[in-house]
Amino acid sequence: MTTPAIEFRNVTKVYRKRTRGVEVAALTSATFSVFPGEVCAFLGPNGAGKTTSISMLMGFFFADSGEISVMGYPPGDVRAKSETGFLPENFAFYKYLNARRLLRFHYALSGRNKENVNLAISELLSKVKLSDFEKLKIGKYSRGMVQRLGVAQALLHDPKLLVLDEPTSGLDPAGRKDVRDVISALRAAGKTVFLSSQLLSEVEQVCDRVIIISKGRVVQSGRMEVLLGAADRVEILATAGSEGLEAKVAEWGGVTTRHGHGVTIVVPVDRKRELAELLWQSGQDVVHILPLRSSLEDLYMRTVGTEGGQA
């Protein structure tokens, strides 16, 4: 059996305020796994426990109970860290350094052989489109440039696992596409990516697995195609609608939309045959019947609702 790249088993973390004795459960019996080669989205409303989980995964926080393993090692273990690239949310740098010197500093800390370091850094800077700014002090970078540099430092030592906390935060649409392309390239190279993001549509495009967390509990976890693949509605396009169609469809919990080239009706999948027969009996042509797959946003909203306002 394949060892998961990331594994949480019944992990609980409670924050305690020393002075007031207040306890807040940040994570409660969280259990999930991410397997090698997967790109996994870690979603949840603000305050759901995402950053706490990522901090524990990186060995910054300690779990109160349960077990965590990263690449088969305990979190914080240098063997795990040597195979992990990390981009924290709101990445911070030594502002007096330039991009090349910062990457050299991180490269030295990664304990890798120094051969070809300059070439590797040049390639990375080119990949994140910072080649023209490599001599500029980081303190003068825009938010987007800092974020791109953060992505570069996470990729610096060619890690097997990437943990990216809001990788597209602060990036413009072109920058977001670049990061998406980088993640797709990482997936193609067989790397494991664990990312938290607020942008569900982007996550849906690049991820294989989804974990949704709410109020410190894992409320949904699984392969993207399994979670989104079960179509629960169908869309039927007909040449025209008979009288009383809208009322019938509404009774079934569906929606009817009339437009120039006919009528589009969306109904629950178990009403598909009844609706098609109703249309045929009234002399209409059925142009197409499409199963409707849920979007990640639908899944998210169904799972978490409007709690926290956003993902």
Partner 1 sequence: MKIKTLAFSTLESFLHNRLLLLVLVLALCLLTLMLYPLLQAKARTTGENQQAIASMVLEMISQVMSFSSGLGALLAAWGAADAFNTELKSGTVLAVMARPVKRWEFLLGKYLGVMLFMGCYVLVMLGLSYLMAWLAGVRVQASPLVLLLYPMVRYAIYAAIAMFFATLTNTIATMGAVFVIAMGVEFVAPDASAWMPKLAWLKSALYYVLPSTNLLTEGRFLSLRQASLKQVSWQEHAISLGYGLDFAFILLLLAMWSFHYRTLRKD
The one among 3, 46, 96, 136 contacting partner 1 by CB under 8 A = 96
The correct pick among 32, 91, 194, 300 for binding partner 1 (CB under 8 A) is 91
Stretch that binds partner 1, among 83-91, 211-219, 234-242, 250-258 (CB under 8 A): 83-91
- Rg of the chain over CA atoms, in angstroms? 24
Site string for partner 1, 7-46 (x = CB under 8 A): ----------------------------------------
Residue 130 is encoded by which pair of tokens? 């910072």
Q: Of 6 and 236, which CB lies nearer to partner 1 in the complex structure?
A: 6
Site membership for partner 1, residue 86 (CB under 8 A): yes
Percentages helix, strand, coil for the chain, rounded to the nearest 5? Answer: 35, 30, 35
* Residue 60 binds partner 1, judged by CB under 8 A: yes
Choices 76-84, 128-136, 249-257, 275-283 (CB under 8 A): range interacting with partner 1: 76-84
Q: Give yes or no for residue 153 binding partner 1 (CB under 8 A).
A: yes
The smaller minimum CB distance to partner 1, of residues 80 and 224, is found at 80
Cα-to-chain-centroid distance, residue 70:
18
Neighbour-count burial of 254, counting CB atoms closer than 10 A to its CB (0-12 exposed, 13-18 middle, 19+ buried): buried
55 binds partner 1 (CB under 8 A): yes
Binding of partner 1 at residue 62 (CB under 8 A)?
Answer: yes
| By CB under 8 A, residue 194 contacts partner 1 | no
Query: What distance separates the 2 farthest-apart alpha carbons in the chain?
Result: 77
Q: What minimum distance in Å lies between the beta carbon of 17 and partner 1?
A: 14
Residues 76 and 57: beta-carbon distance below 8 Å: no
Query: Which of 31, 221, 87 has its CA nearest to residue 207?
Result: 221
Are 163 and 156 spatial neighbours (Cβ–Cβ below 8 Å)? no
Q: Does 230 bind partner 1 (CB under 8 A)?
A: no
Residue 69 interacts with partner 1 (CB under 8 A): yes or no: no
Tokens of 216: 């410190």
Alpha carbon of 137 to those of 123, 168, 170, 302: distances in Å? Answer: 19, 22, 19, 45
Whichever of 89 and 307 has its CB closer to partner 1, that residue is 89
Closest listed residue to residue 6, CA positions, set 48, 69, 74: 69
- Under 8 Å between Cβ of 290 and 235: yes
Question: Which residues here bind partner 1, judged by CB under 8 A?
Answer: 55, 58-62, 78-79, 81-82, 84-86, 88, 90-94, 96, 105-106, 108-111, 150, 153
